[in-house]
Amino acid sequence: MSTATKHLKAEELERKRRMLLECDAKIERLKKELAAAKARKAAKETAEAIANAPHANMGLPRDLILLIFEHYISETSMGIRKLRTVCKGWQDIISQTATLWTVIRIDMPAKATEITPCKQFCEECVEKSGELPLEIYIDFRPADIPFADILYEHLLVPMQSVSDDPQYKEEVKRWLHKPVRQRQPFLIGSYQKHFLKPLVALIGDSGKTLARWSSFELHCAQREETLFSLELLGPILQYPAPMLRSLEIHNSGRYVTSWYRLIHPFPIMPQLQHLVLTKAQLPIDCCRIDPLSMKTLRLPWGTDVGTLTCALQCTNLTTWTLCFDHKTTEDVFMSYVDLTQRTFIFPRLRELEIGGNVPMSFWTMVSFPILQHLMFADRFPMAGFVAQDAISIPCVEILTLPSLSMPGPAIMEDIIQGIIRICPSLRTMRAVEQDSESILNAVESVRLRGLTAPHLATLALKAKKRGNDSEGYRRRVDLLTLRTH
């Protein structure tokens, strides 16, 4: 084949390639025009439907309608937008009521097309709520879809096609050819870059809008989500939150996550009353909160000694959950606790859940005059606890035991005897089903020796894997008649 023929064929191939590229571009343009036309048509139809819809108030008073709206909005992501599409009457009520815009619930966008509506929703809430306090809920738990799959299939690739940044497109192409594990850091960084857009309105310039937050609740589950949440929460909490009363961080994954690296020191929150951390550790600093304002403190995973000493100053707590770190030995605990104050009194505490390696000096240094519910999360302090004659928790009515690993009869009798002595007002014991037989035998044996709790009447049982909430204890044994309900 001659050189001229090869040149002609190459030109022909190049011409066809350009034609294909032009066709692809035309198809993409037509797709966008079609999508825009559909969106305009849908918006027009929605507006007409709202205008023509019958009034859905059904004769209910306005106050009751507002209560219904508030409940729906608190449970549904971007629910206020959905309510507005029902009828013009509802649209008018919502537009005229600033309090309905104070609850901002955001789910993790699973598609690139969801980010802009989410951003607009946040901006609209901030604007229409005036200067009222804001309640923020952010959920990073996708339903039944791995986090990396959401980033790759539903977010990253669509963004590549619609992005106006050629450098971003090239970066995406370069990362898509790498193995999944090497691809994840870029996926998370790219997702963070785009997802932070809706949150800018919630933070405001130099934390101006953040200063209006009255509550903040964050949920994450998988490891990648937790890593992203770390990067997200750090910049947010670097600003003071003078109105924040409730802070909850729930990590439902397998591992406890330390947030010390990015959130240090602890944010300034002078009005904080409720702090709940699930598998998430924060460097709590009593100088940045008002300990006497705290009412709920839930630290169920690895409470370090520094955090514990801060918690001991929150003497107005009504609910307290703590788990001692495995390094918190008796000597370490005593070296950190203020020895000039040997007794810490919690006059309002009604519910205490405790776990981990509890130093025995903790029980001798704290007092709970009206404590009604005592829970042991993962282990019972066995003989050391029941042998302490100085311990007395007189008002406890409900005692929740962990799995006792079926101890011998003598040990179980000592446990029951110690419980009866320490908790004279006890009415209900909660335990796992596998320990029921040994507990019942021990109760009967102790009763035959004349040691009884005058009010103890019920043993509530649950399956081992169920939580400590009251719904998990479905089987009940009457300790007077030994009948099961």
End residue of a domain, out of 375, 402, 435 = 375
User: How much is the pLDDT for 316?
Assistant: 93
Residue 348 pLDDT: 94
Q: What digits encode the pLDDT tens for the residues 354-396?
A: 887 777 778 878 889 999 999 888 777 665 566 666 677 888 8
399 in helix, strand or coil?
Answer: strand
Question: Does 357 lie in the same domain as 409?
Answer: no
pTM for the complete prediction? Answer: 0.73
Q: Determine if residue 78 is left, alpha or beta; phi over 0 gives left, psi from -120 to 50 gives alpha, anything else beta.
A: left
Structure confidence by residue, pLDDT tens digits, 131-164:
889 998 888 765 544 555 545 544 555 555 545 5
**Before 166, cis peptide (omega within 30)?**
no
In a domain, 400, yes or no: yes
d(CA 419, CA 387): 10
Residue 433 lies in a domain: yes
In a domain, 336, yes or no: yes
347 and 209 in a single domain? The answer is yes
> Taking a C-beta distance cutoff of 8 angstroms, is the pair 353, 321 a contact?
yes
Q: Considering 331, 354, 375, which residue would you say is the last residue of a domain?
A: 375
Same domain, 318 and 272: yes
User: Of 66-80, 147-161, 169-183, 276-290, which gets the smallest average pLDDT?
Assistant: 147-161
Q: What pLDDT, in 10s, does the model give residues 21-80?
A: 888 888 888 888 888 787 777 767 666 655 555 555 556 676 777 777 777 666 666 667
| Interatomic CA distance for residues 426 and 267, integer angstroms | 40
Sequence-distant (≥ 6) Cβ neighbours of residue 99 within 8 angstroms: 66, 70, 129, 132
Tokens representing residue 380 in the block: 């019972």
Give yes or no: residues 174 and 272 share one domain. Answer: yes
Regarding whether 387 and 365 lie in a shared domain, the answer is no
Question: Is 31 part of any domain?
Answer: yes
**Is 285 in the same domain as 269?**
yes
pLDDT at residue number 145:
47
* Per-residue pLDDT, 385: 63
What's the domain range around 320?
62-375
Q: 432 and 400 in contact (C-beta within 8 Å)? A: no
**Hey, what are 414's tokens?**
């000592």
Same domain, 67 and 47: no
Decide which of 375, 401, 436 is a domain's last residue.
375
In a domain, 230, yes or no: yes
Residue 347, pLDDT score: 92
Cα–chain center distance at 351? 20
CB 313 within 8 A of CB 336: no
List Cβ neighbours of 97 (8 Å cut-off, separation of 6 or more). Answer: 66, 69
Number of domains in the chain: 3
**Which of the two residues, 52 and 11, has the higher pLDDT score?**
11
> Is the pLDDT at 253 greater than 50, yes or no?
yes
Q: Is the dihedral of CA 60, 63, 68, 72 positive or negative?
A: positive
How does DSSP classify residue 289? B
Q: Based on the fold, state whether residues 67 and 157 are members of the same structural domain.
A: yes
Residue 57 lies inside a defined structural domain of this protein: no
**In the predicted model, what is the mean pLDDT of the chain?**
73
pLDDT at position 318 over 90: yes
Do 169 and 213 lie in one domain? The reply is: yes
Give the burial string for 179-216 (b: 16+ CB within 10 Å, else e).
eeeebbebbbebbeebbbebbebbbeeebebbbbbbbb
